[in-house]
Structure 1
Amino acid sequence: MARIGGEEYEARQAAMRRLAAQAGFRGVVAWSRGGAAQDHYAGVYYLTGFYQHQPFVPDLPGRWRAQGHAAVVLPVDGPALLLTGDGTVQEPGPAARVRAAPDLVDALAEQLRAAIPPGRVGLIGCEAMSAPWWCRLRSVLPGHELVGADDLAWTARRVKSPAELDLMRAAGVLGVRAMTAARGAATPGVTEAEVAAAAIAEIVRAGGAYYGMGISSGTESHTFAASDPAPYSGRPLSAGDLLRIDLYGSVHGYLFDLARTWVVGAEPTIEQRRLLDAVRDAVHAGIEVLRPGLQVGQVARRCQEVFERSAFVTHHGMPESELGGAWGHGLGLSFEPPWVAADGRDAGEVIEAGMCLALERRIAMPAVGGASYEDDVIVTDSGPEVVTAEPVE
């Protein structure tokens, strides 16, 4: 599987410089967290292709600070510099000069003074910047005003390049393979953990990165996952159980995010069929209308209309939304805008070819059970391309 080439990273950095200048910034800092999770890595990875695998450890004054993080300093009129805790990197190396910095915060302050004139500096990755580090930077950089600028990253990553779309397709294929492996393992007597292991093994074997999952079954299928660091339990599955899985991972950083629900070892009951049909049919209805020029809110309203007409809602009434009223989100290097809702800040956003959306719905009713359905879709000039569709047998 091909990776993003150096020329594309250079083009991304040039585009980010232009966005920064238009916003009145002297430059930007992309701050990312690495380690075992893919929660806040996208800013640095998008600009340089670098992921920091060192896990987070608490600061130790005089020895290290912000271990498990990385930063890119990008002046509007100068080259990018990557700051990381370890300057020794494997090939292919990052698309930027690299400097090792055990104390990442003070090294960042030093580089900002050297490379960016005093003034406003956009900070991408605000959620990964802890308060003590932010306060330290403000105290030692009185002439530089750090301003939250995550919207610049969302703008830059909103429409994917052809190379990115190929990675999204590869990720979708891998996600379906992993979910298929989970379904094949889900037989009566097998535990949730064993089902999860089948999915994870398929991802790792194919060279992908496992990110996480929510899995629940039977009497607990209305919950997202076990209340434990492991998102699966040792509960054995029984014939007739609902099994609900929301699974996410990546190929070279680009995510798949899909959810499926099925009945273990038996045909669905009438009540279970109503549950399964409601989530699947509503999501499919939204996918069918995805076209360039449509507003995000219109997609959400189409999903809602079909859901409200479902047999499940007819018999049980409208359940509370498990997603804050949203029917999905943008997808790429992270779960990101636009948020597919009928109202709110993204409802009026116009969909463009090259965007990738994950449309989803989760129902949770303790007396009935729980179900999820989610697909990843690339928007093309000719309509939706579902990258997580199961192969036709």
Structure 2
Amino acid sequence: MGGIGAEEYAARQEAMRRLAAREGFHGVVAWSRGGSAQDRYADVHHLTGFYQHRPFVPDVPGHWRARGHAAVVLPVDAPPTPSNGHAARTGDARGTIMLITDAGDLQEPRPVARVRAAADLVDALAEQIRAWIRPGKVALIGCESMAASWWCRLRSVLPGHELVCADELAWAARRIKSPAELDLLRASGALGVAAMAAARDAAEPGVTEADVAAAAVAEIVRAGGAYYGMGISSGTRSHTFAASGPAPYSADRRLAAGDLLRIDLYGSVHGYLFELARTWVVGEEPTTEQRRLLDAVRDSVLAGIDLLRPGRTFGEVARRCQEVFERSAFAAHHGLPEAEMHGVWGHGLGLSFEPPWIIEDGPHAGERAEAGMCLALERRLAVHSVGGAGYEEDVIVTDAGPELTTTGRRSPEPAAR
């Protein structure tokens, strides 16, 4: 479970139980998707330490349903005593939460939960809800990864239980990271830096985008991390995020000296993400126009990071980023192009890309940074006449100032108040 002990998982489960009870729910169902893609896996993983690597397979009646997914059932009240007579011990999370999966034998470390194997996850989940959660409102977290057909099936066989989408419970539970989580985020950031360095070392004139991507992925895998994804573009295509096909890179186009090469790279260590973006010029020094572009995205992001301290609102941080960008040499020469990210300057980071969103005018603009948060601040620009560039750093909010996990340094000086 990568530095997260059973006691912490038990504490998370108890915290989720309290959150659900406070909102009037009788229990929580966490639903997650696997397949080694790291999309929509966080809710089950956060509560149990489990990740389902089996890929999604379409439903086959009589054989399996929701293959490649996993579910957790967490009642607000104490669950029944296990039928085998093994009563849950005080503080033993495995007795108070059920993980349902179609995986076979599990390797160590085992999930911090009782485990039920089932070929039909939907019917098994319905049966577990009936057995463990009294009729009434049930919080469903991980709503986006539950297919409509499975949702309808659950509703049809659970007339006494009202499944309510409640992803906000999960966001609240994961907002402030524990010391163990912060250590994993630091390790993840360092791995991202190493992977990006490997990509840059490989980016010589004559190699393909695929060669550059392979160097980054190899560095991640060699270190025991998990590759999640990337967007990569270069030269006359650098204003795009990535290739339009299933592979985000070209295996045909070869880099030329003077090309802009832009990479947005994301992966994880024990589930905890890094996300960083860098842009550089292949084989040559940047031109004046390229330098203006590179400086604008980097300096505006770093200005926001310098302001990121407990008590600052995310609207203030976004305004600082925007002000520095508007004063840049790039903006003086090219004006203010339409933002690639629609005014968003970053987001929360942990087991997923998550709230809060760093935006000047929006639902999270008035929220305040707190010590223990991890955020990714970023900016991407695309100008056809010059090219595209992106810059992104991951940062932990601390009482002593922002700690950049993707450069291994703290912000150099306190922000003006």
Decide: shared fold, TM above 0.5.
yes
Question: Which amino acid counterpart does residue 289 of structure 1 have in structure 2?
Answer: L
Report what 1:290 is aligned to.
Answer: 308
Q: Across the two proteins, how many residue pairs are aligned to each other?
A: 392
Alignment of 1:4 onto 2:22: no
Displacement of 1:320: 1.1
Runs of at least 4 residues off by over 3 Å: none
145, 156, 161: which is aligned to 1:128? 145
Displacement of 1:365: 1.4
Q: Residues 308-341 of structure 1, C-alpha deviation per residue, up to 9 Å, x if partnerless?
A: 1111111111111111210000000000000000
153, 161, 185: which is aligned to 1:144? 161
Matches of 1:48 and 1:362 in 2, distance apart? 36
Report what 1:94 is aligned to.
Answer: 111
Contact 1:176 1:390 (C-alpha < 8 Å) held by counterparts: no
Contact 2:33 2:40 (C-alpha < 8 Å) held by counterparts: yes
Q: How high is the TM-score relative to the length of structure 1?
A: 0.98
1:307-386 to structure 2, matched below 5 A, reads 307-386=325-404
Question: Which amino acid counterpart does residue 153 of structure 1 have in structure 2?
Answer: A
Question: Which amino acid counterpart does residue 391 of structure 2 have in structure 1?
Answer: Y
Alignment of 1:77 onto 2:95: no
> Root-mean-square deviation (CA), in Å?
1.1
Alignment of 1:195 onto 2:199: no
Report what 2:31 is aligned to.
Answer: 31
Contact 1:87 1:99 (C-alpha < 8 Å) held by counterparts: no
Matches of 2:375 and 2:321 in 1, distance apart? 14
Report what 1:63 is aligned to.
Answer: 63
Matches of 1:70 and 1:61 in 2, distance apart? 18
Alignment of 1:117 onto 2:134: yes
Q: Residues 342-372 of structure 1, C-alpha deviation per residue, up to 9 Å, x if partnerless?
A: 0111111111000000000000112210000
Matches of 1:216 and 1:70 in 2, distance apart? 35
**The residue matched to 1:280 in structure 2 has which SS?**
helix
Displacement of 1:87: 4.0
Displacement of 1:2: 4.7
Displacement of 1:391: 8.1
Alignment of 1:185 onto 2:202: yes
**The residue matched to 1:31 in structure 2 has which SS?**
strand
Contact 2:403 2:409 (C-alpha < 8 Å) held by counterparts: no
Report what 1:238 is aligned to.
Answer: 256
Q: Residues 54-83 of structure 1, C-alpha deviation per residue, up to 9 Å, x if partnerless?
A: 000100011100001000000012310000
Report what 2:406 is aligned to.
Answer: 388
Question: Which amino acid counterpart does residue 368 of structure 1 have in structure 2?
Answer: V
Displacement of 1:390: 6.5
Alignment of 1:47 onto 2:47: yes
Contact 1:87 1:98 (C-alpha < 8 Å) held by counterparts: no
Alignment of 1:154 onto 2:177: no
Matches of 2:267 and 2:186 in 1, distance apart? 13
**The residue matched to 1:145 in structure 2 has which SS?**
strand
Displacement of 1:4: 0.5
Matches of 1:320 and 1:210 in 2, distance apart? 31
Matches of 1:345 and 1:135 in 2, distance apart? 31
**The residue matched to 2:99 in structure 1 has which SS?**
strand
1:8-23 to structure 2, matched below 5 A, reads 8-23=8-23
Displacement of 1:292: 0.3
Question: Which amino acid counterpart does residue 19 of structure 1 have in structure 2?
Answer: L
